[in-house]
Structure 1
Amino acid sequence: MTTLLHIECSPRKHRSASLEAAHGFIERYRHHRPATEVMTLDLWSEPLPDLDQPAMDAKYAALAGLALSPEQAKAWQRLEALGAPLLKADLIVLSVPLWNFGIPYKLKHFIDLVSHKGILFEFSPERGLEGLLGGRIAVVTYARGLDFSAQSATPAERFDFQKPYVEAWLQFVGITEVHSVTVEKTLLGQDMDEASRRAGAEQAHALADRLAGQR
């Protein structure tokens, strides 16, 4: 049985193109594999804690091999709890809109909270960095309002800080098999928006068909 974690990064719910594509992927995947367990982490309803002084002190105490104070231990346990669903999942789906050429601040906040030694990666002088999410598959559905083709006024090579960042982070925590669906031009009129969403749904369904057949 596959355990699937969906990390929702858009607050727009049914209006969100990234969520629409992700839901299409998940529904199609479950059609093929109905026993799939689906966990959802909505970053807009989850009370994400601050990465405050107790949490940072806990991080550096752990790096130094020191015992944690009760306050530090409590802060660290909150971070471990946030990272636990990622470790439980076999398949991780992220629905990520583009905000100001990058990712939503809620996703960056979440990444900062869980990307620590002992939670999502390990490090030693002998072995270097080792991501703890190895063997998992990630699917990322991206949404963008503008045209990011090479001929546009906002070519991805210069303006895309969304997809490269997300996929660099996934690789850092050990995920080497990453698939993506990108829905663009959603702000360029209703016809273009609808056509882009249809194309995204077709890509998401085709990807679900392929991945469900492999596992």
Structure 2
Amino acid sequence: MAEGLRERKKRQTKQRISDIATGLFLEHGFVAVTVADVAEAADVSVNTVYNYFPVKEDLFLDRGEAVVDRLSGYVRGRRAGESAAAAVLRELRSDVEGVSPSIGLFTGWADFMKVITDAHGLRSRLWEIQQEALDRLTKTLAEETKADEGDPMPGLIAGQLSWVHGTLMAWIGDEMTKRREPGEVSRDALVLLDEMEDLLGDKVLNYAVRDDG
């Protein structure tokens, strides 16, 4: 369905507010900048900011929903004959090879992470996002495999795939805070992904294979 004018304007306004807020947070720190400061810089009311971002933390972590649904989306989009783990590994390799900013492979990552590490509220919100992503992946795997209620396997597999994703993101983050070139980190991250895949057992690698039909 095509995006209407009203929806497009709302999306653009939300992105503009978030971009302005991010610039302020990077310059002054998360704690020092108030929602009123963001509203003034964006030339909107404080209520408008809260309409788009109910909590201040989401002004900086504005792609939280995309992160929450990332692994679940990979699983839902797996190819015929492909397992959940194979789909996740394929998509993560694609992001790494493409030096995607979505997994932290961009020059300003160190500055971005400093804002988070300096603010307890952002660290807490990031943890919540990670937990929401794990819960959604567990639910997605249960739905995709039509697992019985109480079956522990969706949760166990989700934990393993979340470990792969979380370990990759943490490693990339550590390397990027050293001000390394994104392309360099990308090459090393591919090796790390191969090593993590070698650690996954057959039950994980062959879980939730999509029917060829």
State the TM-score, normalized to the length of structure 2: 0.28
Q: Which has the larger radius of gyration?
A: 2
State the TM-score, normalized to the length of structure 1: 0.28
Q: Which structure features the higher share of helix residues? A: 2
